Amino acid sequence: MRLRLGVLISGRGSNLQALIDAATDPAYPAEVALVISNKPDAAGLERARAAGIATLVLKPKDFADKAEHEAAMIAALESAGVGLVCLAGYMRLLSPVFVSAWLDRLINIHPSLLPAFPGLDTHVRAIEAGARFHGCTVHYVRVEMDTGPILVQAAVPVSDDDTPDSLAARVLEQEHRAYPLAVRLIAEGRVTVGGNRVAVRDSSTPDAVIAPII
């Protein structure tokens, strides 16, 4: 039985699309069951609808407080039989209550090689810092922003003539490889979380833990 994914988005949903595309392969061990957005105009909602995936818009202003908003998200995810929640450009911080409810069943993709450059503007900061490599990280979510056990990282070289946009484009290509890989590892039961570290069974395969540098 395929692992059912709940994907939270706020914008264009390009990483959502990568997961949708991966799931078109019958051999892929996961499927997107529900997409939730806090913004009704998020382009990712159309991507989900085009693929026949259930969508739900839950605007925070329609709820009394954050707790009520997140309770509605939790109820919808549980009703859809979701086993893993994937953040894909979801631009709201989740409360300790939500994170605890989905502990070790909640992952995020961040556009840097964590723990370097948590937060925003990662591509600008990488260039300004003179980093020779940059990339993306798929990690389990913890209460502190951009922390948690690391599942998959993909690296790209930083060129001397890179702009934030050119670097972001190359990193995004790797995001679209790294996120489906991370979900596959979880869905295949190959991942064990211990403390702040992830162990991957059969990780002798090079791409089991890090996507190739391009």
Q: Which CATH number describes the domain made up of 1-102?
A: 3.40.50.170
Q: Are 200 and 181 in contact (CB under 8 A)?
A: no
Q: What sign for the dihedral angle of Cα 51, 62, 97, 151?
A: positive
Residues carrying an active site annotation = 110
Query: What are 188's two structure tokens?
Result: 């295949």
Q: Which among 45, 50, 53 is positioned nearest to 10, based on CA atoms?
A: 45
User: Is pLDDT at 211 greater than 50 in this prediction?
Assistant: no
Q: Coil, strand or helix: which one is 198?
A: strand
Q: Are 14 and 172 in contact (CB under 8 A)?
A: yes
- Give the start-end residues of each E strand in the chain: 3-9, 30-37, 54-57, 84-87, 106-110, 133-140, 150-157, 191-194, 197-200, 210-211
pLDDT per residue as tens digits for the range 35-71: 999 999 999 999 999 999 999 999 999 999 999 999 9
The pLDDT of residue 184 is 97
Peptide bond into 115 cis (omega under 30): yes
What number is the average pLDDT over the span 83-90? 98
Domain 109-214 has CATH 3.40.50.170: yes
β-strand pairing of 3-9 with 30-37: parallel
pLDDT per residue as tens digits for the range 93-133: 999 999 999 999 999 999 999 999 999 999 999 999 999 99
**Domain edges within the chain:** 1-102, 109-214
**N residues, the chain:** 214
Tally of helices (H runs) and strands (E runs) in the chain = 6, 10
